[in-house]
Copies of this chain bind each other. A is one copy, B any other.
Amino acid sequence: MNAERGSRNAEQRGERLFRVPRSALIRMFDFTIDATSGPARTGTLALPHGTVETPVFMPVGTQGTVRALSPNDLRSAGATLVLANTYHLHVRPGEQVVARLGALHRFMGWDRPLLTDSGGFQVFSLEGFRRVDEDGVEFQSHVDGGRRRLTPERATEIQWTLGADIAMAFDHVVPGGADEGVARDALERTLRWLERCGKRHAELRTSYDATSLRRTDPPVEDLQRSVGASCNQTLWPILQGGTHLALREEGLRRILDMGDWTGVAIGGLSVGEPKAVMYDMLERLEPKLPALPRYLMGVGFPEDLVAAVERGVDLFDCVAPTRNGRNGSAFTPDGPVNIRNAEHREDLRPLDESCDCETCTTFSRGYLRHLFVAEELLGLRLLSLHNVRYLIRLAQDMRAAIRRNAFGPWAEAWRRRYLRSGSA
């Protein structure tokens, strides 16, 4: 498929499934595909706190902070969109506290776009008691052990109160190996919950619109000039269905029939199934996906980003860069490097010769190893910073390769180098 054809197809799909406005003004939450290279696409997503170029990697700020990094670090790493977790912020400090501290953007000192996960994944993945019924999930707080309840309505209200640019629907996630019956059950529940999330979100938007009409979907420039944190938010559905293609296809159809969404997330992958299964699923789903932004939840190892962009995915999030960084593992173009290894003891070279981050432009591998061996806090931050910058540069490189309509050869060359060591 050449670039022109890809671009035309994407537009056609966009026309059919989601009305792309024809006005010269970019409208809020619009997604424009700027170029394609096979199924890979690069686009621009308009959000209240700024525009985001895709493919994009979102660093994860679970508790309203990307672990060990400051907002300035994230800006210097080129982050445009950051994820925070509804479940964690609801449990501590509570969404009302966040609201009284100026809503999530002001709270965490981040003035660019934010996305909040709905809490679905967390409730299902955290240890301890939980009970799912039709109404929602009862679970045990990881902080105080107390019983709490999340429902589609509550998850939507909490996210509205937090005020991120993008909220996610509350979903029922099943493990990677779930059989069709279990996956069907979770998919059906997720679809019923999506309806409830959409309804509650529309009510919140309407009640908000009633008090301030002009804040509804104004052009981007207007918004950026005049509007506070919680004024405008879109809700994205999450597709479930486990590893069962037929379920995924049916789920997607039913989601798209439910409304004019501004994006769609693929959940319940990267939860224990083999990577080949995830890649295959993405490949088979891709032709059925609309021109909307496509967010593959929880995915963020370099090789997964490349494989998923190759299969038409636009957005990613993962704790890998910060978690691995805190463990002394750094992404480099030649594969992961464990900075604790003795070979780095007297190595004057930077972690990654090609990297422009503070870590790589200031410190030697020998010094970084010393920080880890001596258990110094600065090491956790410097490797986290580099890893986040690495994934953001990887996304930049992918965008450039797509614009050159050369994603395939680029990806092949990238893999040849990254996987050469066999350590990835």
Listed in ascending order, the chain A residues whose CB lies under 8 Å from chain B are: 63-65, 67-72, 92-93, 97, 100-102, 106-109, 345-346, 348, 358, 362-364, 366-367, 369-371, 373-374, 376-378, 380-382
Contacts and interface: CB of A to CB of B under 8 A. Distances in A.
Given A100-B346, A378-B65, A370 B93 contact: yes
Contacts of A65: 371, 376, 378
A346 B380 contact: no
A303 to B, nearest CB: 27
B72 A364 contact: no
21 contacts: A63-B376, A65-B371, A65-B376, A67-B376, A67-B377, A68-B381, A69-B378, A70-B378, A70-B381, A70-B382, A92-B370, A93-B345, A93-B370, A100-B346, A101-B346, A101-B366, A102-B348, A102-B364, A107-B367, A377-B377, A377-B380
Q: For the complex of A and B, list the 8 residue pairs with the smallest distance between their C-beta atoms, beginning with the closest.
A: A68-B377, A101-B366, A109-B362, A63-B374, A100-B346, A65-B378, A93-B370, A65-B376
**Copies per assembly:** 2
A96 to B, nearest CB: 9
A381 B107 CA distance: 17
Contacts of A92: 370, 373-374
A313 B100 CA distance: 46
Nearest to A72: B358
A383 to B, nearest CB: 12
A367 B108 contact: yes
Contacts of A367: 64, 101, 107-109
A187 B233 CA distance: 71
Contacts of A108: 367
A63 to B, nearest CB: 5
Contacts of A107: 364, 366-367, 370
Contacts of A377: 67-68, 377, 380-381
A286 to B, nearest CB: 38
Contact of A97 (B345, B363, B378, B381): B345
Contacts of A68: 377-378, 381
Contacts of A106: 364
A370 B109 contact: no
B348 A101 contact: yes
A223 B102 CA distance: 51
Contacts of A69: 378
A86 to B, nearest CB: 15
A70 B72 CA distance: 13
A97 B100 CA distance: 51
A374 B67 CA distance: 11
Given A92-B374, A107-B366, 4 more contacts: A67-B378, A68-B377, A70-B358, A109-B362
